[in-house]
Amino acid sequence: FYSTHYFHDVLLDMHFSGLTYTVLSLFFSDPEMHPLDFSLLNRREADEEPEDDVLMQKAAGLAGGVRFGPDGNEVIPV
C-alpha cells in the first residue's frame, strides 16, 4: 500500500500532533489545549489581545496592591 501511497508531510504532522495531544491530555486537563497547538505546519490563529482599558477595568476589580498608569509612573488609587 505504501509503495503507491506515499506519506505526506500533512499526514505525518497530523498523526504526531494528535499523538502528542492525546498523551498530554492524559496528564493536563487544559480545556484550551487543541491538537493544532502541537502542529508544526498549521498554526492556530492568535486570539486578539484585550485593549488597555479592558485590562485596567479588570485590574480595578482585584483587591489590594498598587495600580500604575499606562506610562508606568502614574499611581492610580485603588
pLDDT digits (tens, 9 = 90+) for 8-24: 888 888 889 999 999 99
Position 62 scores a pLDDT of: 65
**Strand pairing partners for 32?**
none
Distance of CA 4 to the CA centre of its chain: 38
Q: How far apart are CA 41 and CA 25, in angstroms?
A: 21
> Is 70 exceeded by the pLDDT of residue 64?
no
The residue-averaged pLDDT of 21-50 equals 82
Question: How much of the chain is in helix, strand and coil states, percent to nearest 5?
Answer: 40, 5, 55
The residue-averaged pLDDT of 27-44 equals 83
CA dist 22 to 10, 16, 39, Å?
Answer: 18, 10, 13
Position 2 scores a pLDDT of: 66
> Is 80 exceeded by the pLDDT of residue 51?
no
The residue-averaged pLDDT of 46-57 equals 72
